Amino acid sequence: MSGALARIGRNWRALSSEQRLPAIAGIALLVSMLLPWYRESQTLVVKGRPERLVNSLNAFEVYSFVEAAIFVVAVGVLVLLWTRAERKAYHLPGGDGTVIMGAGLWVMFLIFYRQFDRPNRSGVGVDVSVDWGIFIAFLLGALLAYAGYRLRAAHVPEPVVDDAPPAEAETVPAPAAADPPPAAADAPPEADDTEPTVVARRRQRPTAEDVFDGQLSFDEPAEYRPPPRG
């Protein structure tokens, strides 16, 4: 017994303030089902005089789909929060807050529907009306919906699996290597540290206009003309 109480206390401390509010609303909703939800009245003739008998009924004394659905909703919310405190990793569509808010709205709808479709009781002259306890349950359904809204707005992260692999880092593709610029055809050659090569330049052959008598040429000797004889 002490171990169970210690576990309950540990799980309660593991919940955040936004998770504790729907837990309180769920527990209070279960307790409210013990309150007088309906008033059963019947007229009987006792010793020749009619007498009216009134009997209060809680939600568990009237078996129908409505009471069973409200009970399942309250237990389901408590089981959800219990597993979150136990660090159970799973995902619900829309998140825990959306599910709890929908559960509270569903409870409010069921109780509102019960105002028009009251349970049938066997007997002659039996009349069933709603009692004050069902209105308390309606308010607790509204509190459950509000608690789910707060939990949804708080964005409480869901537990993760302990042995889950870490999320892969987003890889950025390496930039493509830039193509080397085309060699410019008219680009001047790069300077070279080696000594320039001297190319021997061929001497141009002199023409007849450039050569005159008495001038010596290194390329060809001048033509010798003997003097005429007398």
CA distance 19 to 6: 19
Looking at residue 112, its pLDDT comes to 94
Q: What percentage of the chain carries pLDDT values higher than 90?
A: 40
pLDDT band at 117 (very low <50, low <70, confident <90, very high): confident
The 10s digit of each residue's pLDDT in 151-178 is 999 888 877 765 555 555 555 565 665 5
- For the cut 80, the answer to whether the pLDDT of residue 60 exceeds it is yes
Measured at the CA of 60, the angle between CA 59 and CA 64, to 5 degrees, comes to: 75
63 pLDDT tier (thresholds 50, 70, 90): confident
Per-residue pLDDT, 42: 77
pLDDT of residue 192: 52
Average pLDDT value for the chain: 79
Among residues 27, 34, 29, which one has the least CA distance to residue 8?
27
49-74 mean pLDDT: 87
Which comes out higher in pLDDT, residue 41 or 109? 109
The Cα–Cα gap between 109 and 111 comes to 6
**Rounded to an integer, what distance in angstroms lies between the CA atom of residue 137 and that of residue 19?**
20
**Residue 55 pLDDT > 80, yes or no?**
yes
Residue extents of the structural domains in the chain: 15-38+59-124+131-154
Q: What does the pLDDT read at residue 100?
A: 96
- Angle at CA of residue 52, ends 50 and 56, nearest 5°: 165
> Quick check: 122 pLDDT over 60?
yes
Q: Report whether pLDDT(123) > 90.
A: no
pLDDT digits (tens, 9 = 90+) for 16-25: 999 999 999 9
29-38, 56-65, 142-151: range with lowest mean pLDDT: 56-65
